[in-house]
Amino acid sequence: MSLSALVLLLLLVCVQANFYGIVVNYYPSGNNSTGASTGILYYKLGYSLCLYSVPYYINGQPLVLQKVDEPISGEWCQTEGVISQYFSSNSMFSIPASGIDWIFGIKNGIVSFKIQALVELRIRSDIGKANTSPQTTIIPAIRVPSNCPRNLSLLMFDPDGDIVKCRNGDASLSECSPCTPPSVLSLSPSSCTLSFSPTNSSDEGPYAVQLMIEDFPRQNITLTQTNGPQTIITTNDAISKMPVQFVVRVDPAVPSCTEGLFLPMFLPPTPAHRTQLYTYVNQTLAISIKAQTLNSTISELLFSAPHTVTESQTGPGQFTLTWTPSNSVAGQSHPICFVVQAVLGAAKYHSELRCVIATVALPTTSPNTPACEYEGLD
Ligand SMILES: *[C@@H]1O[C@H](CO)[C@@H](O)[C@H](O)[C@H]1NC(C)=O
Ligand SMILES: *[C@@H]1O[C@H](CO)[C@@H](O)[C@H](O)[C@H]1NC(C)=O
Ligand SMILES: *[C@@H]1O[C@H](CO)[C@@H](O)[C@H](O)[C@H]1NC(C)=O
Ligand SMILES: *[C@@H]1O[C@H](CO)[C@@H](O)[C@H](O)[C@H]1NC(C)=O
Ligand SMILES: *[C@@H]1O[C@H](CO)[C@@H](O)[C@H](O)[C@H]1NC(C)=O
Ligand SMILES: *[C@@H]1O[C@H](CO)[C@@H](O)[C@H](O)[C@H]1NC(C)=O
Ligand SMILES: *[C@@H]1O[C@H](CO)[C@@H](O)[C@H](O)[C@H]1NC(C)=O
């Protein structure tokens, strides 16, 4: 037995963690004279505890993970892995379910995790460079009380301006196995909103959400590999396909569904959902978040963002997320999503999900809005 096989086995035996979801996004990085491109893949991985490496490789490379966020009580840990990877042209890849299963007791019967992604890095005729994937993120577990209606609206945006849609994963495309969507959620593909309606207490528990987000060109385009064949992509063809998997926990009923009593309510200056914020390389972006409750106690902010984003508590129910982007993300836009959690005894209550788009403007292009001011997208 080779040493590397041995190490892999030891990892499988030692890892007591359970899977809590994944988000994959990518950016291309430059043209290659051979007609191929390098993609920078951003993985957000959720586990029941913090793992800084995983017992599998992605196209032969180990995934080194950096912590994004972990609730005070443990429960889950989200980490980010960034891999710069060379692709010969377009590339489809999967992460097999191996060694680590989803958390126990998933109500829609998902046990093993599986993802499939399509990374497309041939040159697009409309923009003269390789495609960027649609971008999103989410914390590993979102809580909803069983008696309250809730719309969970995922942030989806596309740096190339493509049309973005989301859909449930398809088992016949190896995107998950099985792909049974949660019975308690209904999906609107164009806005990627998951709607929850008040339900029976027998439906309480964790559900695995296994979505794919895809970008479609606004007109027919040609994909070209230098000295290679061309492919036409129509407005009905997804250019890239990115997995988004996470848990929705249906909790016991809350005495009141009104925001601001048990469920935290956001207050100004918390940015509105989908606000676009601008900054520059080495310039710090600070996002102030404020929430209140009357009948429970706000315990913490939970967030998903690039792992270089840091959090601080500035007062009761007041938090700041801070990001100083490095050169490696110049010109990129990254999603930052958060919820405020409150507690009452053993009960945990989540605010609605809010997300912003943080754009790291290139020094040569001046942004439309001065940094640190908010511009709504709606
Ligand atoms: C360009 O392609 C070659 C393979 O033909 C690869 O080895 C190299 O890493 C690529 N360079 C970049 C910058 O992507
Ligand atoms: C990349 O290569 C394509 C095709 O060769 C070319 O049209 C385009 O201008 C190049 N883009 C950049 C940013 O170099
Ligand atoms: C959810 O969205 C639908 C459609 O926009 C709306 O009719 C409904 O009131 C929303 N529900 C909640 C709880 O916000
Ligand atoms: C809730 O579920 C239980 C068990 O399935 C069932 O007996 C009960 O009738 C349900 N109640 C409602 C209001 O649907
Ligand atoms: C886009 O491509 C499809 C398939 O080749 C073709 O049927 C359609 O007419 C094209 N649409 C436009 C607007 O060119
Ligand atoms: C950002 O800071 C780093 C480290 O101080 C420096 O190497 C880099 O050149 C700076 N980049 C810009 C665009 O100012
Ligand atoms: C919530 O707190 C307010 C203020 O303390 C109190 O008047 C109200 O009765 C509480 N509501 C519930 C449902 O406990």
Residue 203 C-alpha to ligand 4 middle, in angstroms?
A: 9
3-state secondary structure of 282: coil
Task: Output the six-digit token pair for 43.
Answer: 């993985």
Residue 204 burial (CB < 10 Å; 0-12/13-18/19+)?
middle
Q: In the predicted model, is pLDDT for residue 327 greater than 70?
A: yes
Structural domain includes residue 47: no
Task: Output the six-digit token pair for 188.
Answer: 């609107």
For ligand 3, residues with CB inside 6 Å are 149-151, 195
pLDDT digits (tens, 9 = 90+) for 204-217: 999 999 999 999 99
Cα–Cα distances in angstroms (integers) from residue 84 to residues 62, 72, 87, 240, 242, in the given order: 11, 32, 10, 17, 16
What is d(CA 117, CA 134) in angstroms, rounded to the nearest whole number? Answer: 12
For ligand 1, residues with CB inside 6 Å are 30, 32, 34, 36, 38, 86
Q: How far apart are the first and last CA of the chain?
A: 58
Structural domain includes residue 312: yes
- Give the mean pLDDT of 145-171: 97
CB 256 within 8 A of CB 145: no
Q: For the chain, give the mean pLDDT.
A: 88
Q: In the predicted model, is pLDDT for residue 373 greater than 50?
A: no
Parent domain of 319: 256-378
Q: Categorize the per-residue pLDDT at 32 as very low, low, confident or very high, splitting at 50, 70 and 90.
A: low
Q: Whose CA is nearest to atom 7 of ligand 2?
A: 128
pLDDT digits (tens, 9 = 90+) for 250-304: 999 999 999 999 999 999 999 999 999 999 999 999 999 999 999 999 999 999 9
CA 168, distance to chain mean position in Å, is: 15
Using the structure block, give the residue that is written with the tokens 């019967």.
109
pLDDT digits (tens, 9 = 90+) for 75-127: 999 999 998 877 666 666 777 666 789 999 999 999 999 999 998 888 899 99
Residue 286 maps to which CATH number? Answer: 2.60.40.10
Residue 82 C-alpha to ligand 1 middle, in angstroms?
A: 18
Give the residues across from 95 on adjacent strands: 115
What is d(CA 83, CA 41) in angstroms, rounded to the nearest whole number? Answer: 5
Residue 367 C-alpha to ligand 2 middle, in angstroms?
A: 24
Q: In the predicted model, is pLDDT for residue 53 greater than 90?
A: no
Q: Among candidates 37, 38, 36, 30, which has minimal Cα distance to 228?
A: 36
Q: Whose CA is nearest to atom 3 of ligand 2?
A: 128
Structural domain includes residue 79: no
Q: In the predicted model, is pLDDT for residue 14 greater than 80?
A: no
Structural domain includes residue 149: no
Residue 18 C-alpha to ligand 2 middle, in angstroms?
A: 43
pLDDT digits (tens, 9 = 90+) for 188-239: 998 999 999 999 999 999 999 999 999 999 999 999 876 678 899 999 999 9
Closest-lying ligand to the alpha carbon of 294?
7
- Give the mean pLDDT of 37-58: 85
CB 56 within 8 A of CB 98: yes
Structural domain includes residue 363: yes
Q: Categorize the per-residue pLDDT at 1 as very low, low, confident or very high, splitting at 50, 70 and 90.
A: very low
Specify the number of domains making up the chain.
1
3-state secondary structure of 237: coil
Structural domain includes residue 126: no
Structural domain includes residue 113: no
Q: In the predicted model, is pLDDT for residue 50 greater than 70?
A: yes
Determine if ligand 5 sits within 6 Å of the CB of residue 234.
yes
Structural domain includes residue 270: yes
